[in-house]
Amino acid sequence: MNLTTNQLEFDRLHIWHPYEVAEPVDSAIPIARAEGVHLIQPNGRELIDGMSSWWCAIHGYNHPTLNEAIHRQTQKMAHVMFGGFAHQPAIDLARTLLSIAPEGLRHIFFCDSGSIAVEVALKMALQYMQATGQPQRSRFMTIRHGYHGDSFGAMSVCDPDQGMHHLFARFLPVQVFADSPDCGFHEPWRPESFDPFRTLFARHQPELAAVILEPIIQGAGGMRFYHPKYLEEVRTLCSEHGVLLILDEIATGFGRTGTLFACEHAGIAPDIMCIGKALTGGYLSLAATLASETVADGICSGGRPLMHGPTFMANPLACAVAKASVDLLLNSNWKAKVKLIEKRLARGLAPARKLENVKDVRVLGAIGVMEMLEEAPLRAVQEYAIHKGVWLRPFGRLIYTMPPYICDEEQIDTIAGVMVELAQYLLTRQPDHE
């Protein structure tokens, strides 16, 4: 379907897009349909999607198995309130997720989105502490350069200075922030790198309900990869002092880092875990918060309910396609696919290390990052990449990719090649071309 000039102008004047002004200077880029790994523009131009639609479309687009799951469920029941009712799509999905979750996670709460999964996790921790006679434990500890979502509780545990939510700082609860880990994933472990976290934790431990972290890879706060031993040390510290550990696996879950969940790199399990994004393969908004038996029993002791209940909780359509997506992943050779993507990205992005405007290049699983010395101009980067047949959306100083797992070697090589070309282009591009 072709979008007319009038339709695009209406979109520009009246429809807000993520992190955009109400009436942007430039129109959004029109997409007519999507197939496989390609986003297809109205003029027929095909773009390899290097972003998996913000990291969720791991199987690509218009997948017959996922299409069929949606269609089949539509014939039965598109939605029903979850208050007081049970249905098979939710039960089937919950059974699968709990069977593959890190050890000890035995209860699941279905949410609307990733941000709300984090909100529910924070509520779980606070209710647990209140129910177990520890109401003074009402704060959260995390690390800088983190990102956990755009809702208010989630914003309070995002980086307060370098993150995108500093405008709301005076309205948010004040949490405890340690410096981001300085020992990289592929570096030898340095025990002293954990000392700052340990010291800050000791100072605030009596008031902490939980520590919340993105395991191994910090996402939208900086795409930083840290050492698994750091996460292992956090788990030990929390266990020793009765502080809950919340892991935000929304971006890292379902194979993105090379393990099914990123915490597996450290061989640990959280008390509470958030999942989302790739859960439905990019078809519908759905997330979940998983909790241990101990947490669930503590919250609900004395018949207390968990105080959250979204209207679209456990939507049958979303649960049905999520079950199909997770099964599709588990029944595929996803580990080999992600390993291949990692290998091709590492090879393809290597030349960028020699460029004077590139600070760092890092690759883990199906994630490739070029960190620039200066901010990457969003529109210029996107226009150049589109001209080369690739869709990328940089942020800040980061030009990165999280491609669908179904990409072949040639497509991954194309994405990596365009990213390197982009860095070269930005070296010669004149500022007044903005």
61 tagged catalytic: no
- Cα 362 to Cα 185: distance, rounded to the nearest angstrom: 10
CATH number at residue 312: 3.40.640.10
Structural domain harbouring 145: 67-330
Give the mean model confidence (pLDDT) for residues 245-258: 98
Evaluate whether residue 18 is within a structural domain: no
Q: Examine the domain organization and report whether 342 and 299 are in the same domain.
A: no
Q: Examine the domain organization and report whether 107 and 36 are in the same domain.
A: no
Q: What is the pLDDT of residues 75-118, one digit of tens each?
A: 999 999 999 999 999 999 999 999 999 999 999 999 999 999 99
Evaluate whether residue 167 is within a structural domain: yes
pLDDT of residue 5: 86
Evaluate whether residue 4 is within a structural domain: no
Q: Examine the domain organization and report whether 257 and 245 are in the same domain.
A: yes
Residue 41 per-residue DSSP state? -
323 tagged catalytic: no
Give the mean model confidence (pLDDT) for residues 120-144: 97
Q: Examine the domain organization and report whether 58 and 141 are in the same domain.
A: no
pLDDT of residue 153: 94
CATH number at residue 362: 3.90.1150.10
Q: Examine the domain organization and report whether 355 and 234 are in the same domain.
A: no
**Which residue in the list 112, 159, 248, 271 is annotated as catalytic?**
248
Q: Name the CA radius of gyration of the chain, rounded.
A: 22
Evaluate whether residue 20 is within a structural domain: no
Evaluate whether residue 2 is within a structural domain: no
248 tagged catalytic: yes
Q: Examine the domain organization and report whether 206 and 258 are in the same domain.
A: yes
Evaluate whether residue 345 is within a structural domain: yes
222-225: long-range contacts (C-beta < 8 A, 24 or more apart)? Answer: 222/145, 222/162, 222/180, 222/396, 222/398, 223/362, 223/367, 223/369, 223/371, 223/398, 223/400, 224/145, 224/180, 224/181, 225/184, 225/185, 225/186, 225/362, 225/364
pLDDT of residue 27: 87
Q: Examine the domain organization and report whether 229 and 164 are in the same domain.
A: yes
Q: Is the pLDDT of residue 411 over 80?
A: yes
**Which residue in the list 229, 277, 323, 337 is annotated as catalytic?**
277
- Cα 373 to Cα 356: distance, rounded to the nearest angstrom: 8
DSSP code per residue over 293-305: HHHHHHHTGGGPP
- Residues 52 and 254: beta-carbon distance below 8 Å: no
Q: Examine the domain organization and report whether 244 and 393 are in the same domain.
A: no
Q: Examine the domain organization and report whether 403 and 362 are in the same domain.
A: yes
Q: Examine the domain organization and report whether 269 and 359 are in the same domain.
A: no
pLDDT of residue 82: 97
Residue whose C-alpha is closest to residue 155's, from 139, 169, 137: 169
Residue 135 per-residue DSSP state? T
Q: Which of 330, 363, 383 is the last residue before a domain boundary?
A: 330
Q: Which of 330, 362, 392 is the last residue before a domain boundary?
A: 330
Q: Examine the domain organization and report whether 338 and 325 are in the same domain.
A: no
- Cα 307 to Cα 287: distance, rounded to the nearest angstrom: 17
19 tagged catalytic: yes
- Cα 165 to Cα 231: distance, rounded to the nearest angstrom: 25
pLDDT of residue 152: 93
- Cα 341 to Cα 409: distance, rounded to the nearest angstrom: 7
Q: Is the pLDDT of residue 1 over 70?
A: no
Backbone angles phi, psi at 224, to 5 degrees: -95, 135
pLDDT of residue 169: 83
pLDDT of residue 430: 65
Crossing angle of helices 409-428 and 334-349, in 10° steps, is: 30
Q: Considering its fold, how many domains does the chain have in total?
A: 2
Evaluate whether residue 10 is within a structural domain: no
Q: Which residues of 356-391 are buried (b: 16+ CB within 10 A; e: fewer)?
A: eebebbbbbbbbbbbbbeeebbeebbbebbbebebb
pLDDT of residue 431: 63
Backbone angles phi, psi at 277, to 5 degrees: 45, -90
Q: What is the pLDDT of residues 309-361, one digit of tens each?
A: 999 999 999 999 999 999 999 999 999 999 999 999 999 999 999 999 999 99
Backbone angles phi, psi at 84, to 5 degrees: 90, -15
Q: Is the pLDDT of residue 433 over 50?
A: no
Q: Which of 330, 351, 373 is the last residue before a domain boundary?
A: 330
Mean of the per-residue pLDDT values for the chain? Answer: 95
**Which residue in the list 49, 61, 112, 147 is annotated as catalytic?**
147
- Cα 286 to Cα 359: distance, rounded to the nearest angstrom: 36
Q: Examine the domain organization and report whether 226 and 308 are in the same domain.
A: yes
Evaluate whether residue 384 is within a structural domain: yes
The three-state secondary structure class of 413 is helix
